[in-house]
Structure 1
Amino acid sequence: MRTLEQYYELKDAEDFFEFFGVDYDKHIVEVKRFHIMKEYGTLIKKGFENFNGDEKYLMDFLKFALIRVYMDYKHGHAPSAAEVWGMLEDGKAKGCLACTTATEGGNCAC
């Protein structure tokens, strides 16, 4: 059985897939590495916050979270520029992707 201690030693995205025995497309992971790991980190934070000492349950959750995030990207999820680069400020977009300009109040000038 894999342990939480072993999990903490993982470094690269591929390490996580291999650790859990999850098949993955190397090309997808190479291209979307940052996005996959960022979203995975956000998702597993909940699991660690609710960790009640049942390591097997936590490990199952960590594996499921990895599969879920990977499948999102495998099936075409592409984060917007706002998601990736933090272009949202106080819930209002600084501009739009079509014109990349903004007017006062954060609305697009288009």
Structure 2
Amino acid sequence: MFGIGGLLMNDLSLTEAMEELSSAEDFLSFFGIGFDQSIVHINRLHIMQRFHDYLAQVEAQLPESDEALRAVYQRLLSRAYDDFVHSDAQTEKVFKVFKQSQPGFVSVEQLLGS
């Protein structure tokens, strides 16, 4: 089992174990999700935000047992990672900056009022 700071993660509850995780790589490893480091390096914040977004969508239906909850978390994190394996941050539009509409081209004539 995945360990942090000398503690085996199976000695902790799921919530306690997740509190010890600090990087996208930690989360992916903890949940047993194979990953390409180059994809995570470029998209780590996007992956984690997408995971958070997916969790928010199912928050009301989350199971209570650690085992069932772990399976849900694993599935949603894997889905979030896969989003960026098959796409990119600009296409996925996870953060507000990507959701804003792009300004159109303004010609010099339009600026000068001709």
The reply to whether TM is greater than 0.5 is yes
Q: 1:32 aligns with which of 40, 43, 59?
A: 43
**SS of 2:90's equivalent?**
coil
CA contact (8 A) 1:39 1:69 kept: yes
| % identity of equivalent residues | 27
Q: Which residue of 1 aligns with 2:89?
A: 78
> What is the alpha-carbon root mean square deviation over aligned residues?
2.8
Query: TM-score scaled by structure 2?
Result: 0.66
Higher relative contact order (CA 8 A, sep 6+): 2
Query: TM-score scaled by structure 1?
Result: 0.68
Pick the structure with more helix per residue. Answer: 2
* Pairs aligned (count): 95
TM-aligned CA distance change 1:78 to 1:56, over 3 Å? same
CA contact (8 A) 1:47 1:62 kept: no
Point out where structure 2 has 5 or more consecutive residues left out of the alignment.
2-9, 107-114
Paired with 1:51 and 1:17, the residues of 2 have a C-alpha distance of 20
How many angstroms does 1:26 deviate by? 0.4
How many angstroms does 1:19 deviate by? 0.4
